[in-house]
Amino acid sequence: MSIIKPLTILKSAYAKLNLNLTLTGEKTENGYHKLTSTFVAIDMFAKMKIDIEDNPNAYVSRTFVNDIENNKYYNTIVKAVDLWSKRRECPVIVKVQIENPLPYEAGLGASSSYAASVLHALEEYYMALNLGANPLDSFEMQSIAIKIGADVPFFVSGLPYAYVEGIGEIISPTSPVPKEYLVHLPNYKMSTADAYKEADAENVVRFIDLRQNKIYYKYLVGITGTELWELSGSGSTFFIPSPSKELLNMTETWRKEGIDTRLYKAIY
């Protein structure tokens, strides 16, 4: 083991859109819903400053996010550090600062993207600390990722887009997805737990069919005059893939009616 000073690693945690997320009707033994979807990372991102140092006299790691230890609002980061340090047998002190955080409960995978960025930063630190060591292979990284959350394996994979099955752990290459997306973030949120609970109660396979989403979709169509809006995952983000010039020319009019939008690009 080489002795090095604490490292500061900068990461960009990207958001992702869910294209055509559908529940299969099956569940795992633990009660998690199985699904199919296509994930695509877009150029909406949060900046992360990750300071890591060895903690050799301790048995467990310590994690601070925005100066708060074990910050409950960023529990996926805390879990990522804990699982990684146990796998590597390397207790560390991790301090994370997040600038311009991604919207939560919006179907954009914010907490999963943060966790994946921290996992990659921890591996970079370990390889610098242990010259000549072997990095964790993709299977080992994914085995950690799926224990954190269903979307984390996609972000850990580094793929710009992929077809996803199971509870998010089965990731396959897919044909190219649209390059541009017109995105609208409503002023309401939809937690993953609540969305799945309501989906069970209402026996729906698409989250856009949930009560609040249906109501907002009708409102959105009424204001914008287009039915091309899609919903990202179990959150509340609506988007239009490959928007036409005609639609883009209408966005200023929509803004005056309270519908703010922004054009994002896939990162491939």
Q: Which residues are catalytic?
A: 16, 151
- Cβ burial of 258 (10 Å; 0-12, 13-18, 19+) is exposed
- Residue 53, SS3 per DSSP: strand
| Residue 245 host element (H or E) | helix 245-256
**Rounded distance between C-alpha atoms, residue 220 and residue 238, angstroms:** 9
Contact by Cβ (8 Å): 55, 85: no
Contact by Cβ (8 Å): 146, 168: yes
Residue among 62, 68, 266 nearest 176 (CA)? 266
Q: How do 62-65 and 92-99 pair as beta strands?
A: parallel
In a 13 Å sphere around the CA of 170, the CA atoms on its Cβ side amount to 7
Place of tokens 């990684």: 84
Q: How many helices (H) and strands (E) does the chain have?
A: 7, 11
Residue type, 148: I
